[in-house]
Amino acid sequence: MKKAFNAGLLSAFVAPGSGHFYLKHKRTALVFFSLAVVSLVLLLMQIYQVAQVIALDIQNGTLPLDIAVISAEITQQTQTTIANANELLYGFLLCWLVALADSIRLGLKQDKQDKLDTHSNR
């Protein structure tokens, strides 16, 4: 169970796909890592767009330089954006969980094969 445990830890705490990379499944690792990065980039782009809108409103004078008004605008804009961002966040989390489960599955398979190989060599 050593490979399964290590692959699970890597996938859980480092990044999706890192457990696959440890198990030498580099294509699968690249797929999971790419999916995670793309979903995070899209999520950050939405957050950046909200920040840009608020910054432009402040520069144009639409929003006064009052922290309470700016805070209320951030809250309102964020709540509107969160509805769209939830799908990306759930996609990221699903990718991470699937990568974790698959790396443990592959690790258990390799552990089992290693155990059979050591018994056959005796």
Q: Which distant-in-sequence residues (6+ apart) come within 8 Å of 37 by Cβ?
A: none
Q: Full-prediction pTM beyond 0.85? A: no
Dmax (CA) for the chain in angstroms is 80
pLDDT tens-digit profile of 16-52?
Answer: 999 999 999 999 999 999 999 998 898 888 888 888 9
Could you report the per-residue pLDDT of 63-90, keeping only the tens digit for each?
888 889 888 888 888 777 777 778 888 8
Q: How many CA atoms lie within 13 A of 36 on its CB side?
A: 21
pLDDT at 97 over 90: yes
What's the CA gap between 51 and 84, in Å, rounded?
A: 16
Interior/surface letters 56-95, b for 16+ CB within 10 angstroms, e for the rest: ebeeeeebeeeeeeeeebeeebeeebeeebeebeebbeeb
